[in-house]
Amino acid sequence: MHRALCPVETLYVGQRSRAVLSCALHGQVDTGALSAAFDALTQAHPTLRSRIAPDGPGFALRLLAEDERPRLITRTGGEEVHLAELNAPLPVGGPLSRAVLVSAPEGDRHLFVLVVDHTITDGHSSIALHNAVWDHYRALVEGGETGGTAAATDATADAREDCGDRPHWPQPVSRLLPAADPAATAAYLERRVEETRRHPVELLPFDVPRPATAGAGPGAEPAGDGRIEVCRLALDEERTTRLRRTARQAGVSVHALVAAALLTAARRRLEGDGPRTLGCLSPVDLRSRLTPALPALLMVPAVTTHLQTLGVAADTDPMALARTVHSRLSDFIDRADQYHEMRITPEIPGNPALQLATVIVTNMGVVPGPRLPAGLRATDIRLVPAREHYFPQAGRSPVMACVVSFEGRLAIEFPHFTACFSPSFMQTFRDDVLAGLLTFADVTDPLPSPAR
């Protein structure tokens, strides 16, 4: 009862990255119903009650024993648990998901944290899973059928393998890509490698002194000091609406405006006034681009990336940057290069520059929050990526920005390791990005659309 990981999924085993969903709540929570809701989802999705195990030269997902499968953890505390969960790994060999409910002593304030290994999820499926848990919970406490979860489970059936009485493992997305000529994929890889050689990108230097130990990359020993913290940027609904308006008027995406603000802030941390080669890495969702489209709740990573390099000077116009980011990403998708990009993903360990960027800008778009029963409301929802290994010995790295709009309000999470970037560095960087976004949001004159 196992399912081999494909080469693309296997890369996540070494990266040890995870999605951390959290929801702050006000009201009464029935812990028994929430525990049952989480159990129902882990039962419906075997990847959530699996572990990673060696399988010949690679790895496989294997079901955990009944007494090992993840169960809802409950404890008393406050929002400090969010930071603790960011720093609590999902080790290889253990469960690939974790759910924690932390309740204040008075019992009317809670924090629900859902952690899922990126070997079995991406941003869209982790959000869908979080909302499905609360759909099931709502049905239980309201005394009705758990139709929301059942429908979501049934919707994944077409994308699963027929395994009889065995678990219905979801197929790896790499098996679902449209057919391609291997020679075309090889030519694409050759072109991408050559581009990285001709345009090596600059990374941001750490402001924390480098440890006096050897090694500077994934082959080196991870740092023992430091912890993951997260710096947050949040816009209210009005400013989010104004930012969207500017994007529409300029004919670009909000993602492009955010990327331009990040690239501009990054350029300010490099010396000189002339152009410097910066890289922008944008995840590209494949769920909606496959035929048939994959349900959001299918628990597999279904994302690839687009890397573009840009010459950014101290006086580069941020809107011009946004237009470039938008047009290049649009062209990438129009050419269907996202499929080639996923096919060459197994080559990344030998060519790490294929995904080396100055800024990594994820974007989940506008997503709904959980639907809760009467008497319970969500006061805050967050999605933060985290991982186990950071390498302060390297002296520099990309900056990660996780962008998501829950309930019409845009937020950007900046997770960072304190032995690399200090909290004060990230706060100043965050404030720079905020200033750039507010400049976009405050545009009042009509903007011409970019020429295509």
pLDDT digits (tens, 9 = 90+) for 364-407: 889 999 999 999 999 999 999 999 989 999 999 999 999 999 98
Q: What is the domain-level CATH number for residue 275?
A: 3.30.559.30
Which residues span the domain enclosing 327?
182-441
Residue with tokens 């929570």: 29
Q: d(Cα 334, Cα 135) in Å, to the nearest integer?
A: 36
Reference 353, options 195, 161, 238; nearest CA is 195
Assess whether 195 and 135 both reside in one domain: no
pLDDT in tens, 243-287: 999 999 999 999 999 999 999 999 999 999 999 999 999 999 999
Burial class (CB in 10 A: 0-12, 13-18, 19+), 211: middle
Tokens, residue 104: 């204040």
Residue/partner pairs of 364-367 with CB below 8 Å, 24 or more apart: 364/123, 364/124, 364/127, 364/403, 364/404, 364/405, 365/404, 365/405, 366/405, 366/408, 367/124, 367/127, 367/404, 367/405, 367/406
Assess whether 245 and 362 both reside in one domain: yes
Q: What is the domain-level CATH number for residue 139?
A: 3.30.559.10
Q: What is the pTM of this model?
A: 0.91
Q: d(Cα 36, Cα 287) in Å, to the nearest integer?
A: 28
Assess whether 108 and 130 both reside in one domain: yes
Assess whether 248 and 333 both reside in one domain: yes
Asked if residue 206 lies in contact with residue 397, where contact means CB atoms within 8 angstroms, the answer is yes
Any domain includes 446: no
Assess whether 193 and 319 both reside in one domain: yes
- Count structural domains, the chain: 2
Assess whether 195 and 168 both reside in one domain: no
- Name the domain boundary from 175, 199, 225: 175
Instruction: List 384's β-bridge partners, or say none.
Output: 20
Q: Which residues in the chain show pLDDT less than 50?
A: 146-164, 214, 216, 218-223, 452
Amino acid identity of residue 81, one-letter, is V
Tokens, residue 447: 């903007």
Write the CB contacts of 63 (distance below 8 Å, at least 6 apart in sequence): 1, 2, 46, 49, 50, 167
Assess whether 245 and 327 both reside in one domain: yes
Assess whether 53 and 129 both reside in one domain: yes
Any domain includes 447: no
Instruction: State the average pLDDT for the chain.
Output: 91
Asked if residue 275 lies in contact with residue 201, where contact means CB atoms within 8 angstroms, the answer is no
Assess whether 153 and 272 both reside in one domain: no
